Amino acid sequence: MNEVNMKFSDQTVAILRNFSTINPSLVFRKGNVIRTISKQENILAQATVDDNFDDSFTIYDLNRFLSVLSSMTEPDIKVYSEEKSLTIADSNSSSKVRYGLSDEVLVVSPPEDDVEIGDAKIKFTLTADDFSRVIKMGGVMGLPNIVVMGDREKISIAAVDVKNEDSDVFSIDVGETTAEFKTIFSYENLRIINDTYNVSISTDGISHFSRQNGNLDYWIATEAGSSYSE
């Protein structure tokens, strides 16, 4: 019987909670890299974590799995890949859960190749505070888009409704530029952990949010109506 023991660190659990908002299912691969992709394939995320997975396995309902995990004080996980199951045992008690694994073919999983975004014309640093403020105000004001704009002087990030010319707008300056552009994101697609990111946006519809202190990356597609001119 092929048995693999492991624990999930707090860092790994936090990453998994965020990834569950992108795709409710997840394929764990051997190693210490976790990747997920949205069902619409317009959001790809990757994290390098402290934990190492010695076997591959698939969780169909990641939120449900994490809820079970959080119900244990000191959860120890054993994966039985041949039996397509795992157990979660509480080290501080005699309680134990047997949890069924899914077949990989039943879930949407990301490609193993790295994403190439081409020539990134737009680059800036997005601080955790600025990201938090624009996301919060977008939610409070019910604005469906986050837009990165350049006016040949400043780069700003704004919460707005691009389909409404009279839309309310909340904006923050985040950098400088000599170009003119408007890069549109769906508010719902910016499902990233609040932190400081180095942001690169290409003119072919792909953006890259790379956490400044490393180990976490998101590639997010931009929306129709985006534009760029030197």
120-229 CATH, one of 1.25.40.10, 3.40.630.10, 3.70.10.10, 2.50.20.20: 3.70.10.10
| pLDDT tens string 17-70 | 999 999 999 999 999 999 999 999 999 999 999 999 988 999 999 999 999 999
The single-letter code of the amino acid at 4 is V
How far apart CA 210 and CA 131 sit, in angstroms, is 13
Per residue in 185-203, pLDDT tens? Answer: 999 999 999 999 999 999 9
Quote the pTM value: 0.94
CA 215 to chain centre: 12
Q: Which residue spans of the chain are classified as CATH 3.70.10.10?
A: 3-106, 120-229
Query: What is the 3-class SS of 3-72, one letter each residue?
Result: EEEECCCHHHHHHHHHHHCCCCCEEECCEEEEEEECCCCCEEEEEEEEEEECCCEEECCHHHHHHHHHCC
Question: For residues 197 and 211, what is the distance between their CA atoms, to the nearest angstrom?
Answer: 4
Reply yes or no on domain 3-106 having CATH 3.70.10.10: yes
